[in-house]
Amino acid sequence: MKKVGWILFFMICLFFLGDNPALAGEIKITIGVNDSLIGFNEQKPLIIDGTAYSPMEPLLNGIKAKTTYDPQNKIYTATINEKRITFSMVDKSISMNELEYLDTLKVLNGTPYIPVRLVGEYFGFNVKYLAKDQVVRVFDKNHKYTDADFITKHRKELDKYFNIRPKNIVYLTFDDGPNAYTSQILDILKKKDTHATFFMIEGNIKHYPEVVKRMVKEENYPALHSVTHDKNKIYANPKNVASEMDKTRKTLQTISGFDSHLTRVPYGSKPYMKQPYRDDMVKNKFKMWDWTIDTEDWRYGKTPWKIVDKVKSGMQGLKGKNKPIVILLHDSKASASVLGEIIDYVRKQGYEPVSYDPGKHEVVNFWGDTRL
Annotated catalytic residue, options 175, 280, 290, 331: 175
Residue 203: which H helix or E strand, with range? helix 202-207
In angstroms, rounded to a whole number, what is the distance separating the alpha carbons of residues 81 and 96? 14
3-state DSSP helix/strand/coil percent for the chain, to nearest 5? Answer: 35, 25, 40
**Catalytic annotation present for 330:** yes
Residue 290 belongs to what H/E stretch? none
| Catalytic member of 195, 225, 330, 331 | 330
d(CA 139, CA 165): 28
Under a CB-based contact definition with an 8 Å cutoff, are residues 16 and 8 in contact?
Answer: no
Residues 63 and 120 sit within 8 Å (Cβ to Cβ): yes
DSSP state of 201: -
Distance (Å) of CA 58 to CA 31, 32, 42, 110, 330? 10, 11, 12, 15, 41
20: which residues sit within 8 A by CB, 6+ positions away? 129, 131
Q: Which helix (H) or strand (E) is 155 found in, with range?
A: helix 155-161
Q: Phi, psi (5° rounding) for residue 344?
A: -60, -40
Which H/E stretch holds residue 161? helix 155-161
Distance CA 2, CA 13 (A): 20
How many other C-beta atoms can be found within 10 angstroms of the C-beta atom of residue 42?
7
Catalytic site includes residue 290: no
Q: Which residue numbers are catalytic? A: 175, 330
